Amino acid sequence: KRQAAPCLASGRRAAPCQASGRRAAPCQASGRRAAPCQASGRRAAPCQASGRRAAPCQASGRRAAPCQASGRRAAPCQASGAAPGQHSAEQLGSDQEAARRRRALERA
């Protein structure tokens, strides 16, 4: 599986979102929201797209809420020191995708 853009466990800036030359904004260990990453249909980073709410980076190590950009979900953000979870929307089936989004939205 291809790696989604991880949020570094140290809480420093997120890995770059490679899309149209834009860069991912910092993922904050304090739990503040990440600024937009305009993924344009590629792998999603914590972002705000299509007017939907931004996915917060949780200081507790919980994964970020889904970024609903072109049907793709956000990469988890872990600030607890654990390795970031790796997800790739391209590798997930549509049924899994829908179920994961529903569960994430219920937890949010």
Q: Where are the domains of the chain?
A: 1-108
Q: Predicted confidence band at 104 (pLDDT cuts at 50, 70, 90)?
A: confident
pTM (2 decimals)?
Answer: 0.16
Angle at 53 between CA 49 and CA 55, to 5 degrees: 90
What is the Cα–Cα distance from 12 to 8, expressed in whole angstroms?
6
Q: What is the pLDDT of residues 27-57, one digit of tens each?
A: 433 344 444 444 343 444 444 433 444 444 4
Evaluate whether 87 touches 104 at the Cβ level (below 8 Å). Answer: no
Of the candidates 45, 49, 39, 30, the one whose C-alpha atom is nearest the C-alpha of residue 76 is 45
What is the Cα–Cα distance from 39 to 48, expressed in whole angstroms?
10
Q: What is the pLDDT of residues 50-99, one digit of tens each?
A: 344 444 443 333 444 444 333 444 444 433 333 334 343 333 456 667 78
Q: What's residue 96's pLDDT?
A: 67
